[in-house]
Structure formats: C-alpha cells, structure tokens
Amino acid sequence: MNNSKRISNKSLQRTIRNIIASTVASVTIASQSAQACTSFLIRTTDNSAVYARTMEFGFDMESSALVIPRNYKLTATGTGGKPGMSWTGQYAAVGMNAMGAAALVDGMNEKGLVGGILYFPGFAGYADPAKSDPAKSLAPWEVLTWALTSFATVAEVKAALTDISVVNVVEEKMGIVPPVHYTLHDATGDSLVIEPVDGKLKVYDNPLGVMTNSPSFDWHMTNLRNYLKLSPVNATPLKIGSETFAPLGQGSGMLGIPGDPTPPSRFLRALGYTLSIEKKPSGPESVRLAEHIINNFDIPKGWVRDKNQGSEPLEYTQWSTVADIASKVYYVKSYSDPVLRGIDLKSFDLDANGLVSAPLTPAMTPPALAFPKP
C-alpha cells in the first residue's frame, strides 16, 4: 500500500513511534465529554469486511498499540482494590489501549472478530458490584478485551453475555466510571451493539454496522425514519409550468443530510457513506476506501467546545483505526501523524509469553516530497 507499512514483532516500536503527540491535561478527565467517536463496517467484494473508527477525547489518552498473545491470563478490576473476573484468553488480539492499561479500547483478534469501546454519556448504567459475583464481574473498560480474547464470532459473544456483569468501577486515572457502550463485528459481517443500561446489558443485532454515541442504539434506528428519501442518486429536475429547475451540481440526492458533529448526525452520515460506496476487494483498496470515509469524521481542535471551555483541553480526534478482517492487518493513524500504518497480526509470535506494546509519539513535521531529477 502506498504510504503504509507493515509492522513486525521486532520493528513495532520503531515503525509506529511517530503516530500521535502527547498532551498534558490540566483538568480531571471527569470534566471532559468525549461524544464524537464514530464507527462503521463496509463489506468487500470477496465476502469479507473492513472496520473503521475514530477516537476523540480532550485529554491525552496515553494510547499504545498493543498485542495480546494466546493463552494470556487476565484479571478484571474490582472495587476497593479487589480483583474481578479472571480468564485465560483463547485468541490473540491487536489494538489500541488507553491510560497504560493492559486492555483494549479498540481492536481485532486472530479470528477476525473486531470492535471498539465508544463513549455513551447520560445513558450508561452499570450493575452494582455489591450485588454482583466478583468472579463474573468486569469493569466497563475490560469488556472488549474479554470478548476479543475469548470468542471468534459475534454469535459466541452474544451467547456468553449472560455469564458476565459489567459493574460500576471507577477508573483510577480518570477519576470516574467511564460511560461506554460496545460495537462488535465478525468475519461473516454480523454486527452487535452492547449497551449497559440500568444495570443490565441491552443487546442489539446491528444490520447497519454503524455506531456513534448517545442516545441509545434503538433511538438512532428510529431516527433513520426521518431521512428515508436520502439517496446517492442525484435528484431529477423539477418542472413547473414552462420552467425546469435542475440540481446545482452533484450530490442533490443527499440534500438535507446533517453535517454537524453530533452523534445522531454522524450516525446518518456514516450510514450514507457505507450504503453508497462502490465495494472493493479486501486488502489495500478496501482499506483506503474505509480511510476516505473515516476522514470525514475527523475533528480538529476547536471544532467542538463548551461555552465556558476556558483553558481546558479541546476535544479532537486523537487517532483513527482501520481493520482489514480478511488479512488480519490493523491500521492506525493519528492527529499528529495522519499516515496510515499497519500492524500485521500474523507477523507476531501469537504464542508468546507476554504483551507487546509500543507507545505513540509525535511526528509533527510532514515528510518532504522527493522529486526525480530532470
């Protein structure tokens, strides 16, 4: 792929060290609202799929690329310093973490199960840890890691959800219980949304493959009924008496699609893209196609802010990922270094004894263009 690099086990640190800049948050995370994450799935002509998402926050998430090997033992976080659920992962997984944790906030496993954690403020409600079995309890930020290391398909995850509780646990560095929900997709193209509400897990099959943030997924599905006439096909000219009114340029079929960065509007735009694009084979063509779509949801610093923002850090797209399910290559690019770089899961020793991680560091200077001599 042009401008893309595959990362081996030995060169992970070196190749992706120039992905993202670090910032220092001057306020607690509790005061920040990350409401701009966007995710989607596109189908390929060879019956596979490519997944992509953005990750927005105002403070530095301290994200690293992370590879979890097979048979790695993991223990969830309980309240009061006590452990929660323990399990041994069956499958290797690659993705991004946050806050230095050995947990994925986005990722893909060796069987092609892929997904992410997205913010869900105002609606997330977890189980009471005092009323939950610690041996079956997961903190909100550990659900995705449990799913990716334990299951091969969406159906398997769905069947196992009755065996866990997602409990109200404060993330130490954030100082809050992060309000989140989860999106999952597999190699068959099946998609699932999991939302913790009122202490229970609400589970939705997701035929659209798209998810953003609040409100709940069923609300977004209902909201689609307000946009039934949107189409990638240009509108036909309107004739009134002797006058004919033709569209002003291309794209008239999408006239009225919301362009603001709110979750409902991003949901609609993401769906518009995924339904209208020309399908490509798995590999570079579909990866680039997903990258072009995800670029439309990039938020530069200053595009969204509170009225009394003051000196608090501005929310922005810290990084975006694209996962090629067929090739098992996971790509990432960042605000500071928007070059898509690939981590080939197949190039790692998936039976290794420990985690492989690489912190993301800044590369603010654009590379020089090299022109051939005349």
Res 323: pLDDT? 98
Q: 5 pLDDT exceeds 80?
A: no
Output the pLDDT for position 35: 63
Among the ranges given (29-43, 111-125, 174-188), the one the predictor scored with the smallest mean pLDDT: 29-43
Looking at residue 18, its pLDDT comes to: 35
The mean pLDDT value for 126-140 works out to 96
374 or 131, which is more confident? 131
Q: How confident is the model at residue 13 (pLDDT cuts 50, 70, 90)?
A: very low
* pLDDT value for 20: 27
Handedness of CA 155, 157, 158, 160 (dihedral sign): positive
Active site residues: 37
Domains of the chain with bracketed CATH: 6-214+280-359 (3.60.60.10)
125: left (phi over 0), alpha (psi -120 to 50) or beta: beta
User: 62-83: per-residue pLDDT in tens?
Assistant: 899 999 999 999 999 998 889 9
Reported confidence tier of residue 8, pLDDT bands at 50, 70, 90: very low
Long-range contacts of 169-176 (CB under 8 A, 24+ apart): 169/77, 169/78, 169/79, 169/84, 169/126, 169/129, 169/139, 169/140, 171/99, 171/139, 171/140, 171/141, 173/29, 173/99, 173/100, 174/28, 174/29, 174/30, 174/99, 175/28, 175/29, 175/30, 176/29, 176/30
Q: Are residues 167 and 127 in contact, defined by beta-carbon separation less than 8 angstroms?
A: yes
